[in-house]
Amino acid sequence: MISFESDYIAGAHPEVLRKLTETNLEPLSGYGTDPYCESARRKIREAVGMEDAEVEFLVGGTQANAVVISTMLADYEGVIAAETGHISSHEAGAVEYTGHEVLLLPQKEGKILPETLRQYLRTYYADANHEHMTFPGMVYVSHPTEYGTIYTKAELTEISGICREYGIPLFLDGARLGYGLMSRETDLSLPEIARLCDVFYIGGTKVGALCGEAVVFTRGCRPRHFMTSVKRRGALLAKGRLLGVQFDALFTDDLYFRIGRHAIDMAQKLRQIFAEAEIPLYIDSPTNQQFVILENGMMQALAEQVAFSFWEAYDEAHTVVRFATSWSTTREDLDALREILQAVRGR
């Protein structure tokens, strides 16, 4: 059965796997101290255009969010996020598990509008009782968002400016960053993101790795003794090479960007196929996740031959579902989908 269920249905991109295989027998030190981790850090610093950026590897996205947020916040602080942010809704309370509150903001297509943020902070500090409330100590944005949308350079610049005005760091969850960077509609480059954010991560799990997220701290924001804090959260990998080798491969010969580009190309074709089949988009996503509205009967029929993700009920008769592309999506998958859709519609 062909699958568009997620962008993590396959193993590693072959170039990543090859590098794991080639280096498999080399004896290396653990915990991220090996030369592949060092090489990957150097290549990432180059890619983000910041010599003094500090790069740390973690295993997964929820882990990266919880570790970064809880090590950067002061005791009395919480993190601002869109109501639809991954940390707000789909991480089972991982941030709260670390003792910190997620302060929810209304959102538009998954994004925080700069004006909403500004208003929130202004109101908070105007409140005579704000010391009885959680201090806003960080802003979390996901890019691309959970709805596949992306911030424009103007939006991210304004959000970054507000953060700096209030002296709080801006954290960008880049679990799918590769797809945002390669979107045909983006005007944000990786160095610009690095310049505007205080910390962000370059997602590996959803962009061609078996696992792994590369967290980039800019402007001297890395918490002191970060490795110890990672260790005590159970997030320090003994064979750190697993992350180092993979990111070294991802940042060799632009692999990370080639993976992103391929998935975007596949997503564009996916949109054409839906358009041909007169299936409406739920949201206009310029990245690798495409949300469409399916009539329920059609959804059932389709689900027999294609894997995709249930998202949310649309109305009594329709459902929003998600199709995701990745490095492993092939033209053959798309051709097969087109045929299946024609057959299903023809019934």
Of residues 225 through 244, those in contact with a copy of itself by CB under 8 A are: 225, 227-229, 231-239, 241-242
Question: What is the nearest approach in angstroms of a copy of itself to the Cβ of residue 105?
Answer: 12
- Smallest CA-to-CA distance from 183 within 108, 254, 266, 60 is with 266
Question: What is the nearest approach in angstroms of a copy of itself to the Cβ of residue 91?
Answer: 7
**Closest to a copy of itself by CB, 128 or 346:** 128
Residues 345, 340: Cα–Cα separation, whole Å: 8
For CA atoms 220, 226, 227, 228, the dihedral sign is positive
> Considering only 12-20, 143-151, 165-173, 183-191, which stretch makes contact with a copy of itself by CB under 8 A?
12-20
User: Between the CA of residue 133 and those of 99, 103, 138, what are the distances in Å?
Assistant: 14, 10, 15
**Closest to a copy of itself by CB, 114 or 203:** 203
**Which residues have a Cβ under 8 Å from the Cβ of 25 and sit 6 or more positions away?**
none
**Closest to a copy of itself by CB, 29 or 152:** 29
Residues 132, 127: Cα–Cα separation, whole Å: 10
Interface with a copy of itself in residues 62-91 (CB under 8 A): 62-67, 70-71, 74-76, 78, 89-91
**Closest to a copy of itself by CB, 50 or 94:** 94
Interface with a copy of itself in residues 327-346 (CB under 8 A): 328
Interface with a copy of itself in residues 238-277 (CB under 8 A): 238-239, 241-242
- Smallest CA-to-CA distance from 209 within 180, 178, 230, 239 is with 178
Interface with a copy of itself in residues 92-111 (CB under 8 A): 92-94, 96-102, 104
Residues 292, 257: Cα–Cα separation, whole Å: 26
Q: Binding-site residue total for a copy of itself (CB under 8 A)?
A: 86
Task: Count CB-CB contacts under 10 A for residue 6.
Answer: 16
Question: What is the nearest approach in angstroms of a copy of itself to the Cβ of residue 153?
Answer: 29
Task: Count CB-CB contacts under 10 A for residue 343.
Answer: 12
Question: What is the nearest approach in angstroms of a copy of itself to the Cβ of residue 103?
Answer: 9
Residues 187, 82: Cα–Cα separation, whole Å: 22
Task: Count CB-CB contacts under 10 A for residue 109.
Answer: 16
Q: Which two tokens stand for residue 55?
A: 């790069």
> Considering only 24-32, 160-168, 248-256, 282-290, which stretch makes contact with a copy of itself by CB under 8 A?
24-32
Interface with a copy of itself in residues 39-58 (CB under 8 A): none
The DSSP code sequence of 283-343 is S---SSEEEEEEEHHHHHHHHTTEE-EEEEEEETTEEEEEEE--TT--HHHHHHHHHHHHH
Q: Does 145 bind a copy of itself (CB under 8 A)?
A: no
The length of the chain in residues reads 347
Q: Does 305 bind a copy of itself (CB under 8 A)?
A: no
Interface with a copy of itself in residues 310-329 (CB under 8 A): 310, 312-313, 328
Pick the binder of a copy of itself from 135, 151, 171, 200 (CB under 8 A).
135
Question: What is the nearest approach in angstroms of a copy of itself to the Cβ of residue 60?
Answer: 6
Q: Does 28 bind a copy of itself (CB under 8 A)?
A: yes
Interface with a copy of itself in residues 188-207 (CB under 8 A): 205-206
Helix, strand, coil shares of the chain, percent, nearest 5, are 45, 20, 40
Q: Does 5 bind a copy of itself (CB under 8 A)?
A: yes
Question: What is the nearest approach in angstroms of a copy of itself to the Cβ of residue 95?
Answer: 8
Site string for a copy of itself, 204-223 (x = CB under 8 A): -xx---xx-----------x
The residue type found at 269 is K
Question: Beta strand 213-217 with 54-58: parallel, antiparallel or unpaired?
Answer: antiparallel
Q: Does 347 bind a copy of itself (CB under 8 A)?
A: no
